[in-house]
Amino acid sequence: MNNIKTVFSIKDLENLSGIKAHTIRIWEKRYQILEPMRTDTNIRLYDTANLQKLLNISFLHEYGYKISKIATYSDNEISDLVKQIISAKNSKNHAINALKMAMMNFDQQLFFNTYDWLAEEKTFREIFISVFLPLLDEIGLLWQTDTITPAHEHFISYLIRQKIILNSEKLQVLNPTKTDKIFVLSLPLNEIHELGLMYLHYEILMAGYKSIYLGESMPVSYLADLKKHFNSIVFVSCLTVKPDREDINAYVREMVNELLEGTNELWFTGRLSSLINQEDFTQKVAVFNSIEDLLVKL
């Protein structure tokens, strides 16, 4: 059965393009930029072609083109103009829109083509920070507003995960060049959002350190076993949805008690890490507002 979403509400278009529904209605009425279908009760519905056109219009509008000018172009002219602009290979917004279309259509070839286009000019760090991270942030909002299903999120997340693994594997065959500390990466119990942590594994390897990736849902007692094998461990964790907000500081306290000895350190990032009360903990507990902030520390 074909479960690809091919019909969208005006709210879906707002969520996917970032253009307010009210603005879309005005543009339709004034410039006839889209051709919605109508239900028997006069509710607007849009097909995939309308979505693609609106994403192109959104791109041109953000690039500085006035909607009155865009409206004078044919669909082919709009598409050609977008292609001309992105030929400089510096348009992250176009890449994000292309990846959204790949997600909506479960089109892995479009994902790979877009990634390959980006990789011609950008490093993997640039692709992840400037394209994948903003895309993942948007996907979280799209999922919350029922614009996409969990299947869409899993599809695109799996493809991004593949790229992280592929780039990390190239580095894992190399011997570490820095031996003053090693990194152990894990997520709390029931925390399954691991793309950020997987990317940090790549960056730590790139920086020349030994990185031990343990992944999701790791009890603190299991982490303590690493102390038998290594000295000067930096334990890194991303807190996205777990532990529960009221349990965050108790979880950090458990990690401090079980893991901090000698020169060991604890590093935290992720949305929930902002709830950590750093004044209650030793200076060996570091909280980073973003992945980019953590990279500065490497």
Identify the pLDDT of residue 115.
96
For residue 211, is pLDDT > 70?
yes
**CA–CA separation, 106 vs 4, rounded Å?**
7
Please report, rounded to a whole number, the percentage of residues in the chain having pLDDT higher than 90: 58
Is the distance from CB of 176 to CB of 210 less than 8 angstroms? yes
Q: Distance of alpha carbon 273 from its chain centroid, rounded?
A: 17
Question: First-to-last CA distance in the chain?
Answer: 48
Q: Is the pTM of this model over 0.95?
A: no
For 99, the token pair is 């990846």
Q: What is the pLDDT of residues 254-263, one digit of tens each?
A: 999 999 999 9
Give me the numbers of helices (H) and strands (E) for the chain, helices first please.
Answer: 14, 8
Identify the pLDDT of residue 1.
41
Residues 24, 25, 30, 32: is their CA dihedral positive or negative? positive
Is the distance from CB of 157 to CB of 195 less than 8 angstroms? yes
Give the Cβ contact number of residue 164 at 10 Å. Answer: 21
**CA–CA separation, 42 vs 112, rounded Å?**
39
User: Band of the pLDDT at 25, cuts 50, 70, 90?
Assistant: very high
Helices 150-172/133-144 angle, 10° precision: 160
Amino acid in position 267: W
For 208, the token pair is 């020349």
> What is the full DSSP assignment across 1-66?
------EE-HHHHHHHH---HHHHHHHHHHH-----EE-TT--EEEEHHHHHHHHHHHHHHHTT--
Q: What is the pLDDT of residues 150-197, one digit of tens each?
A: 889 899 999 999 999 999 999 998 899 999 999 999 999 988 889 999
Q: What is the pLDDT of residues 244-253, one digit of tens each?
A: 999 999 999 9
- DSSP assignment letter at 176: P
With tokens 């709210």, the residue in question is: 11
User: Band of the pLDDT at 221, cuts 50, 70, 90?
Assistant: very high
User: Band of the pLDDT at 4, cuts 50, 70, 90?
Assistant: low
For residue 120, is pLDDT > 50?
yes
Classified as helix, coil or strand, 194 is coil
Nearest to 258 by CA among 285, 276, 288, 294: 285
Identify the pLDDT of residue 224.
94
Q: What is the pLDDT of residues 55-88, one digit of tens each?
A: 889 888 887 889 999 999 998 898 888 877 766 5
**CA–CA separation, 19 vs 14, rounded Å?**
5
